[in-house]
Structure 1
Amino acid sequence: MTPPGAPRRSVLDRLPLRRLRLRHRVGAAFALVSLVVTGLFATVTWNLASYYLVEQRVEGAVRQVEVNVRLVERALTARPRSDGLDDLLTGLAGTPNTTVALRHDGNWITSGRDIDVSQLPKPLLDMARSGIGARQRMLVEGMPSLVVAAPMPDEAVFVEVFPLQLLDANLRFLSSVLIIGVAVSTVLGLGLGHWAGRRALQPLTELTEAAGRVAGGDLAARLPGSSDAELAPLVATFNRTADALEQRVARDARFAADVSHELRSPLTTLVNAVAVLRRRRGELPPTAQQAVDLLDGDIQRFRRMVLDLLEISRSDTLEREPWELGDLVRGIVGVRGGTPPEIDAPEPVTVRADRRRIDQILGNLLDNAEAHGGGAVRVGVSARSGRGRIEVDDAGPGVPAAKRAEVFERFSRGARAGSRGDGAGTGLGLSLVAAHVRRHDGAVWIEDRPGGGARVVVELPGVAG
């Protein structure tokens, strides 16, 4: 049963064809229409042609039998039971595959192709003996034939068996041509449908690509102009929306940059003031010492947040240069304190990238592993399908699948949201990683680490040879 409030699905929606892509459905519809039209035309052509050819053959055979019957009647009247009758029947048989049979005085006289007269249909012969001519298509000795029986005086019967091999061959050839024509027409209809569907859906494809680029951070993506009266309003509306979104994002970035710059001076004053208090911490009472520690932690966190906001708001171009990822990883890990993680870089992997942003990506990933996973235990570097790959593993609790996209959003700190202190982070580290990776046309995601924990994977395009 359909749940209350759920949209009802029509019978067409449950058909397998509805599960295909629209372009494929258009092609299938063209092919189906072509199949129906050409199949109907082929059926009508077959019926008309076969009826005409068969009727022509039957009429010709009947006229020939009428002439032959008159000749046999004359022969029977002039010279009954003479040798001339056998010669006449032999001449009437004509071709070797034709059989002429005469039943006279209770006996059969045959000429031409030898057949078993007893296999001829009894109802057909009975009709001829009763004075009514009859004909029937049947297999005689395995050969398609037309049997024509004509009445004669004194209950005599004249039978002539005409071969239909040539007619059947012509009909089979015609049917083969029609079937091949229907098949070719269906294939052409499918191809035409795919071409028409692709052309008709080209604007939708361009819209999808442009919307995907905008969603991926390319706010300069626009649709090309169109002179089509139906598409022009859609193109204009999309481009206006993209313009407004780009302007709003630019205003927000300028606002964040302005606020961050304005905060740097008082922030520097606060950092220096707290440094003075830290140096005199021993002269303060325990309550004041605790307050200084809390203030120092929050100011340091505030300072990192301001620097991250400044970095996010920057719109300068990338300075791409070839860098070996293994060397970058070793350099960043070497300047950090604590227990260094295992570096797994079996072979050099060189990419063209912005060194400053790659340093920030690696540094933020290591900071994130330290804050949420007890520190990084492995940093892997490899090349896959023409892309440089960086893997940062930790042995922490991992990240639930439902939250793996959420952690790359700004001010998302997972289970530590709302907590204070250095370990809580600013909630901007992974969002900055995602922004830098997108600017490099790369990808970043989180997956499970074999053995437990989380693995953050960064892939960057353009591996240099």
Structure 2
Amino acid sequence: MSAFDRPRTVLARLPLRRRVGVAFALVCLVVTGLFATVTWNLASYYLVEQRVDGATRQLQVNLQLVERAMAADDTTGLDDLLTGLAGTPETTVALRRDGVWTTSGRDVDPAALPAPLLAMAAQGTGARQRVQVAGVPSVVVAAPVPGGGLFVEVFPMRRLDANLRFLSVVLFVGVAVSTLLGLTLGQWAGRRALLPLTALTRAAARIAGGDLSARLPAGSDAELAPLVATFNRTADDLEQRVSRDARFAADVSHELRSPLTTLVNAVAVLTRRRDELPPTAQEAVDLLDAEILRFRRMVLDLLEISRSDSLHREDGELGELVRGLVAVRGGPHAPQVDAPAPVPVRVDRRRLDQVLGNLLDNADAHGGGAVRIGVAARDGHARIEVDDAGPGIPPDQRTAVFERFARGTLAGSRGDGGGTGLGLSLVATHVRRHDGRVHVEDRPGGGTRVVVELPGVDG
């Protein structure tokens, strides 16, 4: 990855709303930074040049006065003139005659003056330069005088330097504030622009979770109206199709109950008279009995899956509910219930019994029986863990086992304990209606662990 690709990768990881905010901030930073730079250069150049030109003009006027005093050969008058020309204690006036310096105003060592500037002035050319003199930013202006002398004035720029520093601080703060405002404006604009996308995401998540009644609200935005209409139309079609499929499964299952009851009763009569039948007929009756029972379980599971009645939630303690179900099932190999602390839940007890019952039946049929049921609260969820002693489920099949008629390696076989392939699908359906989730993990020490997570309730 090149150095140019790294910023793009970092930005790509940010949410779209934050990327919009960063874009706004960068635009504000570039625009205001450019404006501040231009303003600083123009202002500093104008103010400094004004100060330097003023110092040059002042030197020219003062130089005429000094030349007149030198022409009059009045030493006392010249000294008084230099004192008067200094004006303020910050300004320095220096005159070199016959190699001797005479200064007035702020005490400055002539050796601290820039030598190239003095050399240029000594050659008969006036010169000026911005330098630090005795730690003070100043403008030094020098000009030759008759007789090979030099006249030098040092004008302080302390106040101008302070003004420029203040201007730089103001411009920097302005750029920083503008960037922050751009970031805030970008965040707000991104959030407002992405509100339809957020609503779409929530509606899609509700549909994926089983709530087929989720729809997008109609808005006045002409650009979003086609998207809203298409999404709602698709959701309507999906809801109608699922409803038709559910009604079809319910109708078929319901219509099968009457002949199924007749078959069960007929097989029961044959079973009671099994000893009176020849061996071949006895085997046929046994096979028929097993298949009828499996058929009956499949019809009941289909009826349960097709039901769309609402949940009847009740408050309860999950550990007690699990222990009660295990006690009702009984059996010599009842699994151990590990519930070290109370876990309050609000569930439909009938559906929860079906979830646990189907998980235990699945463990008995395919996993060598359940060996442990763990109940605990974790990350705000009520967690049920059903461990079995079987060979485990390969990772690539852990999602498919919750699909209808998926029975793993036993699919298509008979004599598998009467499994219908609908038990885990019914588990997933009931858990999803509780706004929970179910998945498969590896059991420590070998085997399979089926985990059911339900919304927790604050105790």
Residue 278 of structure 1 deviates from its aligned partner by 2.4
In structure 1, the partner of 2:373 is: 379
Q: Is the 8 A contact 1:322 1:464 kept in 2?
A: no
1:440 matched to which residue of 2? 434
Contact in 1 for aligned 2:431/2:454 (Cα 8 Å): yes
Aligned: 1:107 with 2:100: yes
Q: Which moved more, 1:256-265 or 1:424-433?
A: 424-433
Q: Percent identity?
A: 76
Partners of 1:135 and 1:13 in 2: how far apart? 48
Q: Does 1:190 align with 2:192?
A: no
1:228-307 superposed matches below 5 A: 228-307=221-300
Deviations 1:229-272 (A, max 9, x none): 11111111111111111111111111000100111111112222
The structural deviation recorded for 1:324 is: 2.0
Q: Deviations over 1:392-446 (max 9, x none)?
A: 1122222233222221111111121111124261111111111111111122222
The residue number in structure 1 matching 2:360 is 366
The gaps in structure 1 that reach 5 residues or longer are 2-9
Report the alpha carbon displacement of residue 107 of structure 1 after superposing the two structures with TM. Answer: 1.8
The answer to whether the 8 A contact 1:12-1:18 is kept is no
**In 2: Cα distance, 1:14 partner to 1:399 partner:** 41
Q: Secondary structure at the match of 1:411?
A: coil
Q: How does 1:60-459 map to 2 (within 5 A)?
A: 60-80=54-74, 82-336=75-329, 337-423=331-417, 425-459=419-453
Matches within 5 A, 1:14-93: 15-80=9-74, 82-93=75-86
> Following the alignment from structure 1 to structure 2, what is the Cα–Cα distance between the partners of residues 117 and 153?
20
Gaps of 5+ in 2: none
Partner of 1:6: none
The superposition leaves residues 28-64 of structure 1 with CA deviations (integer Å, 9 ceiling, x where unpaired) of 1111110111001101110111111111111221121
SS at match of 2:275: helix
- CA distance in 2 between partners of 1:300 and 1:283 (Å): 22
Amino acid of the structure 2 residue aligned with 1:193: G
8 Å Cα contact 2:393-2:448 kept in structure 1:
yes
Letter in 1 for 2:48: V
Query: For 2:155, what is the secondary structure of its paired residue?
Result: strand
Contact 1:378 1:393 in 2 (8 A): yes
Q: Distance in 1 between matches of 2:458 and 2:161?
A: 70
1:19 deviation in Å? 3.0
Partner of 2:417, secondary structure, is: helix
Q: In the comparison of the two structures, how many residue pairs are matched?
A: 456
RMSD: 2.0
AA at the equivalent of 1:135: R
2:323 maps to a residue whose letter is: R
Q: When the two structures are superposed, what TM-score results if normalisation uses the length of structure 1? A: 0.93
In structure 2, how many angstroms separate the alpha carbons of the residues matched to 1:274 and 1:432? 28
Distance in 1, Cα, partners of 2:108 & 2:343 = 88
Rounded to whole Å, the distance in 2 between the matches of 1:333 and 1:464 is 26
Which letter maps to 2:440? I
Q: Choose 312-321 or 19-28, whichever is displaced more.
A: 19-28
Contact persistence 1:413–1:424 (CA under 8 A): no
Shift of 1:156: 1.7
Contact 2:139 2:157 in 1 (8 A): yes
Q: Determine if contact 1:448/1:455 at 8 Å carries over to the other structure.
A: yes
